[in-house]
Amino acid sequence: MVRVQLGGTLKSAAGGTSEFEIEAATIRELLDRLGEQCPKLAPVLERGVAVAIDGQIYRAAWFQPVPPDSEVFILPRMTGG
């Protein structure tokens, strides 16, 4: 199990819940399971987010392993130029 914390506007998309416990082996599996636990959050996750695992940020690294007992932060996608 990993502890997942939502940052920024994702907390409001999740109905005010900011922390979840998820069983997942990869980032893709983690996002899929989080969307299953919180269906209102699923569309936001599908549009794209940044995932930080133990302080390292990953973007579009769907098959990146998520070690057990990791601390994961999910952040809204950053835009700009």
Strand ranges in the chain using DSSP code E only, listed in sequence order = 2-6, 19-22, 49-53, 56-58, 71-76
Q: What is the pLDDT averaged over residues 6-20?
A: 89
Q: What is the pLDDT averaged over residues 47-60?
A: 90
pLDDT at 34 over 70: yes
Topology adopted by domain 2-76: Ubiquitin-like (UB roll) (3.10.20)
pLDDT at 14 over 70: yes
pTM of the complete model beyond 0.85? yes
Q: Name residue 26's beta-bridge partners.
A: 65
pLDDT at 78 over 70: no
User: In whole angstroms, what is the distance from residue 37 CA to residue 64 CA?
Assistant: 21
